């Protein structure tokens, strides 16, 4: 199988523009087939793994280079969003020392449901994952908390 975008004999090598603040390439997405990045992109990322997050509402996919593959999803389903929710969430995060978040949706709606989601490495926590989950369940308006390892 020919790697995507690594080299195309008809068009020539992929040229990555590094002059500005961003670089872009077009990836071809084929169900069941791997997506291959140009070697120059991978070298610039500087890590051997990446957390890939798809935001369903916008259908936007983001890739975050990570050195540690022990990453957890925290999903909080909010049944009653109040002004106090974010303050209480901040207190719970501070108590657990959860400050280094790889990605967060913030508070967002998906259909009729309201969520807060984030991805983080649990090594930073000064509490167990169960203790973090219990503290989040106590926040008024929280109907469900999901903590699971990303695979």
Distance separating alpha carbons of residues 13 and 40, to the nearest angstrom: 11
Neighbours of 98 (CB within 10 A): 20
| Mean pLDDT of the region 5-33 | 70
Counting residues of the chain whose pLDDT is more than 70, the rounded percentage is 90
User: If pLDDT is split at 50, 70 and 90, which confidence band does 3 have?
Assistant: very low
Residue 11 tokens, joined: 């068009």
**CATH architecture classification, 72-149:** 2-Layer Sandwich (3.30)
pTM for the model stands at 0.81
Question: Tens of pLDDT along 94-132?
Answer: 999 999 999 999 898 877 789 999 999 999 999 999 999
Residue 6 has pLDDT above 70, yes or no: no
Helix/strand/coil for 151: coil
């Amino acid at each position: 199988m020919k790697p995507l975008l690594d080299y195309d004999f008809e068009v020539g090598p992929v040229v990555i523009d590094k002059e500005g603040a961003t670089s872009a390439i077009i990836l071809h997405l084929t169900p069941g087939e791997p997506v291959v990045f140009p070697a120059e992109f991978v070298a610039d990322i500087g890590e051997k793994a990446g957390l890939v997050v798809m935001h369903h509402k916008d259908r936007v996919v983001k890739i975050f280079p990570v050195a540690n593959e022990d990453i957890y999803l925290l999903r909080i389903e909010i049944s009653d969003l109040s002004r106090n929710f974010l303050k209480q969430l901040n207190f719970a995060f501070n108590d657990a020392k959860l400050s280094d978040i790889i990605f967060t949706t913030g508070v967002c709606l998906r259909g009729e449901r309201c969520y807060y989601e984030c991805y983080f490495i649990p090594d930073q926590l000064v509490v167990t994952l169960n203790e973090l989950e219990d503290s989040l369940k106590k926040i008024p308006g929280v109907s469900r908390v999901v903590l699971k390892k990303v695979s």
